[in-house]
Homo-oligomer: A and B are copies of this chain.
Amino acid sequence: MTAGASAAAPKAKPATARGEATLRRLLDAAEAEFGERGFHAASVSSITARAKVSQGTFYIYFPSKEAIFGAVVRAIGHALRKHMAQASARHADRLHAQRAGLEAFLEFVQRHPGLYRIVQEAQFVDEAAFREYYERLAEGYARSLARDAAAGALAPGDAEVRAWAIMGLGHFLGLRHCLWRNSLPPPQVLDAAMDFICSGIAPRPAQTDRP
């Protein structure tokens, strides 16, 4: 989760590369600890033991377990947005880019098995971090959908509503497949999801005219 360190808003911003590395180790250890045990059972001493960092060092960076929890949520959000943006930027065809973004989200979930537990638990532990996680994801996504619609690559429509709708779809795909079955959705499920995102469920009387 190295990409996320800069979004973590720690108490002290590390001045040295060694400090940066310590902060990253703490965030990675906290992600593992919160993801496996949940916020209530997790402890600062377990996080520092996982990170091989002293408790004194922990408190240079974070005043409390709550603080590093919020930092982990923000770091995951930052890393996820970067990962999805990179995946989708590789595709000139904007519908292919949509699929790539969705696949990138699901791969990220597979690689961060604690993500759902941490982000969903955030609504009870640090609601501001929870809202920020989704709102920042939606903002960037809506901007890209609006740009594509303005360029004629998508049908005109409300980019914000679309962004939240597709995030909801992705959320449940990740829940059902990555979390509950511990595997990426099979290709035919992604095909069906993309068919839904592209064309919806209404009858398509003009379908034969389509390319």
Task: Check A155/B193 contact, CB under 8 A, given A123-B120, A172-B165.
Answer: no
Q: Mark A168-196, 1 if CB is under 8 A from B, else 0.
A: 11111101100010000000110011011
Task: Check A202/B120 contact, CB under 8 A, given A168-B172, A169-B168.
Answer: no
Give bound CA distance, A149 to B196, whole Å: 13
Copies of this chain per assembly: 2
Would you call A203 and B152 a contact (CB within 8 A)?
Answer: yes
Would you call B200 and A210 a contact (CB within 8 A)?
Answer: no
Would you call A169 and B164 a contact (CB within 8 A)?
Answer: yes
Would you call B198 and A201 a contact (CB within 8 A)?
Answer: yes
Q: Mark A197-208, 1 if CB is under 8 A from B, else 0.
A: 111111111110
- Tell me the A133-190 residues at the B interface (CB within 8 Å): 134, 145, 149, 152-155, 157-158, 161-162, 164-165, 167-173, 175-176, 180, 188-189
A38 lies within 8 A of chain B by Cβ = yes
Contacts of A202 in B (CB 8 A): 95, 154-155, 198-199
Task: State how many residues of chain A have any CB contact under 8 Å with chain B.
Answer: 54
Give bound CA distance, A198 to B121, whole Å: 33
Would you call B157 and A192 a contact (CB within 8 A)?
Answer: yes
Task: Give chain A's interface residues, CB within 8 Å of chain B.
Answer: 38, 40, 95, 98, 116-117, 120-121, 123-124, 131, 134, 145, 149, 152-155, 157-158, 161-162, 164-165, 167-173, 175-176, 180, 188-189, 192-193, 195-207, 209-211
